[in-house]
Amino acid sequence: MLVREMDTNDLDEVWEIEHESFSKPWSKSSFIQSMSEVNNFYLVVVKDGKVVGYCGCWGILDEGHICNVAVKESVRRQGVGILMLKELISHAQARGIRSLTLEVRESNMPAINLYKKLGFTVAGMRKDFYTRPQENAIIMWRREMQ
């Protein structure tokens, strides 16, 4: 498996994973706009020539907000998620980011377990943050990276 920066040629495959993963998927144009922001970066995982996962990070000063984390349904639970997020953390550190944060649905145990495994801890909750279905968000942080 290879982890590299996402480019616009990946978006057809990313869009398919986005649609099977989220009830309110992002459009390709939302990805294009976000990828073009100089402080943001997006990574893809490629396996046998196919995109099987992706994640993004929006940088604000020395903090990074992780977004759009998803792995293709047919290859989940094979270490793709942890691989790409470890790489995201390295990329973030190289850009001078010292703390990372994210929101996650409070029922999303696969993702919460994944983030805890990477050193993220629960820092708070945003009530009814999500719609379709309505649900609270758990806020997690990984602070003071070297």
Q: What is the rounded CA–CA span in Å between residue 134 and residue 40?
A: 28
Contact map string, positions 79 to 98, toward ligand COA, x by CB under 6 A: xxxx----------------
> Among the options 103, 106, 135, 144, which is catalytic?
103
44 makes contact with ligand COA (CB under 6 A): no
Contact map string, positions 115 to 134, toward ligand COA, x by CB under 6 A: --x-----------------
21 makes contact with ligand COA (CB under 6 A): yes
Q: Closest approach of Cβ 15 to ligand COA, in Å?
A: 14
State the Cα angle at 106 between 100 and 108, rounded to 5°: 85
* Contact indicator for 106, 134 with CB cutoff of 8 Å: no
Number of neighbouring beta carbons within 10 Å of residue 95: 13
- Whether 54 is a known active-site residue: answer no
Query: Under 8 Å CB-to-CB from 24, ≥6 apart: which residues?
Result: 131, 132
* 95-114: contacts with ligand COA (CB under 6 A): 104, 108-111, 113-114
- Whether 130 is a known active-site residue: answer no
Classify each residue of 101-129 as buried b or exposed e, where b means 16 or more C-beta atoms within 10 Å of its C-beta. Answer: bbbbbbeeeebbebbeebebeeeeeeeeb
Computed on alpha carbons and rounded to an integer, the radius of gyration of the chain in Å comes to: 14
Q: Closest approach of Cβ 130 to ligand COA, in Å?
A: 10
* 51-70: contacts with ligand COA (CB under 6 A): 69-70
As annotated, the active-site residues are: 103, 115
Q: Catalog residues that contact ligand COA under the rule CB under 6 A.
A: 21, 69-71, 76-82, 104, 108-111, 113-114, 117
